[in-house]
Amino acid sequence: MTIAGSDGQPLELPVARYAGAMGLVSDAGEFTALLERIATAWAATDADSAAACFTAEATYMEPPDRQMFRGRDELTAYFSPLEPGTYLDIHAIWFDAHQQSGAFEFSFGVRGAPTADHGVVVVHLREGLVDTWREYHRPGPPAFDDFIEPSGKVWEWHAGNYP
């Protein structure tokens, strides 16, 4: 949302001061709270509560062509088969209040499973809810620290085999 001054030029407003009145998320803490609501709903296998964190027209995708869901009805159906023990662990968060966009590293899986997905999600918000969710991930060991640990692995690409 752009607000213009009397001269027609865009005004730079402190988001935290006006966020609530404008339906915006003011800081990384509020962004984190929204992500935690999604994680809690998934862990509780509560598809309706998870979908309520998204706009009615939200897009949830894994580019370029892996998965695509649009709107709360499709998201509720997508989230419904989550099983007990499902988790979304959030490891690092970046948020830009002026752009109403952020990103985070995550682990997603089922407790006790031999693998989990780890990756990054890019989120765009509208009116304090997720409007676009783009995720990029790879399977790996369940523990995030093991996933990102560089030693003890056979790397597909490295200085020894790259042209």
What pLDDT digit, counting tens, does each position of 5-54 carry? Answer: 566 665 454 444 444 444 688 799 999 999 999 999 999 999 999 999 99
Our CA angle for 130, 133, 134, nearest 5°, is 165
Contact in structure between 132 and 58 (CB atoms under 8 Å) = yes
Q: What is the pLDDT of residue 8?
A: 63
**90-146 residue pLDDT tens:** 999 999 999 999 999 999 999 999 999 999 999 999 999 999 999 999 999 999 999
Question: What burial letters (b/e) apply to 148-162, b meaning 16+ CB within 10 Å?
Answer: eeeeeeeeeeeeeee
Is 12 a domain residue?
Answer: no
Structure token pair of residue 97: 């209040």
Q: What is the pLDDT of residue 19?
A: 45
Q: Is residue 88 part of a domain?
A: yes
Tell me, yes or no, whether 16 lies in a domain. Answer: no
Q: Which domain holds residue 135?
A: 23-148
The CATH number covering residue 112 comes to: 3.10.450.50
Structural domains of the chain, count = 1
